[in-house]
Structure 1
Amino acid sequence: MFIKIFFFVLFYLLTKQKKKWIILAIKYNKFQFIIQMPRSQKNDNFIDKTFTIVADLLLKVIPTTQREKEAFTYYRDGMSAQSEGEYAEALQNYYEAMRLEIDPYDRSYILYNIGLIHTSNGEYSKALEYYFQALERNPSLPQAFNNMAVIYHYQGEQAVEQQDLEKSEARFEKASEYWKQAIALAPNNYIEAFNWLKNTDRLKEK
């Protein structure tokens, strides 16, 4: 519950403030691994200010159990560390949050962020495992579908370079499958993926 409300409030405040956004994690060609956070600046560290204010406010005003508050605190600290590129610290906090958090929806975001870290570290098999786990708990998570598609597309491109056409086609089919699901959930968010599906004649159901 906490994480769901947190993201709603944070997104609302950032939209109202019209701050610039960045994409954490990595970019691959035109396709992106997505987690959006406000841009930190030397004289106006908006991410830390807004993030901390919203998180602390929610901890104070929302009636909940001590266990839920502790889980959210670990999640908050994990996201803060992740935004600074401190992945080991972020993972430690996320694992603690997972140990305490019981809400499936909130657990999906923790798992998703763990997947992002493994993606950034080039540990694609681990990343896929965590994205799958996130989607099992929250099937309406388009960014997880997108990130899985990007990984499979990347592997497909690698297979092409290795002249392994059978493997490349299998990976591209996986990418196609997951991009379609991401686009179905968020039609306006994955234009480059849609164009790739269209240009490779993969929009049609087989």
Structure 2
Amino acid sequence: MPGSRRNDNFVDETFTVVADVLLRTVPVTGREKEAFTYYRDGMSAQSVGEYAEALRNYYEAARLETDPYDRSYILYNIGLVCASSGEHARALDYYFQALGRNPSLPQALNNTAVICHYRGERAIRQGDLETSEAWFDRAADYWKQAVSLAPNNYIEAQNWLEVTGRFGD
């Protein structure tokens, strides 16, 4: 969709302009500015599917960033890139690291639940119903946490929790 692509480019360009203004006006150290610049460049690369470039930038941002809250978003984005590449175990590791620094990160909880649900579905296809139920229970635990933090963001997860009877567990 050409219109959608133009909108994405507009959003990316707007983010870059706003980020540049913030970097010039907000009183932060040189190291913090450098970390944010790498983070911003990682997001730009990720948005166009250049995952290797995104990871290089995120790793450098993570090396420089000392604030746990800011670092949680870097780790979360590394997890996103890993998940996009099908590296689910590695993605989970980064989501857990992000949650360790920022337990109020509903998107990391949601993405963890999505991977657990995927593994539950895979176990069903392999005929292992006991394992699938264990994965679905884990997905439910993460989705309940995500929903409690952001009740209006995860309607499909809420519906799944209701339909499967896992909401009240």
Counterpart for residue 41 of structure 1: 6
Question: By how many angstroms is 1:125 displaced?
Answer: 0.2
Higher strand share: 1
Question: By how many angstroms is 1:77 displaced?
Answer: 0.3
SS for the counterpart of 1:40 is helix
- Distance in 2 between residues matched to 1:40 and 1:50, nearest whole Å: 14
Normalised to the residue count of structure 2, the TM-score between the two structures is: 0.95
Return structure 1 stretches of 4+ with deviation > 2 angstroms: none
Residue pair 1:143, 1:182 contacting (<8 A) in 2 also: yes
- Distance in 1 between residues matched to 2:78 and 2:138, nearest whole Å: 21
Counterpart for residue 61 of structure 1: 25
SS for the counterpart of 2:6 is coil
Structure 1: give runs of 5+ residues left out of the alignment: 1-38
State, as a whole percentage, how many aligned pairs show the same letter.
70
SS for the counterpart of 1:45 is helix
- Distance in 1 between residues matched to 2:11 and 2:45, nearest whole Å: 12
Normalised to the residue count of structure 1, the TM-score between the two structures is: 0.78
Structure 2: give runs of 5+ residues left out of the alignment: none
- Distance in 1 between residues matched to 2:58 and 2:91, nearest whole Å: 14
Any residues of structure 2 matched to 1:185-196 within 5 Å, and which?
A: 185-196=149-160
Paired residues, number:
166
Counterpart for residue 144 of structure 2: 180
Counterpart for residue 89 of structure 2: 125
Larger relative contact order (Cα-Cα within 8 Å, sequence gap ≥ 6):
1
User: Over the residues paired in the alignment, what is the CA RMSD in angstroms?
Assistant: 1.2
Counterpart for residue 11 of structure 1: none
Counterpart for residue 120 of structure 2: 156
Counterpart for residue 76 of structure 2: 112
Question: By how many angstroms is 1:45 displaced?
Answer: 2.5
Corresponding position: 1:100 with 2:64: yes
Question: By how many angstroms is 1:128 displaced?
Answer: 0.3
Residue pair 1:48, 1:80 contacting (<8 A) in 2 also: yes
Question: By how many angstroms is 1:51 displaced?
Answer: 1.5
Describe the superposition over 1:14-57 as per-residue Cα deviations: whole angstroms up to 9, x where unpaired: xxxxxxxxxxxxxxxxxxxxxxxxx5318x83023201111100
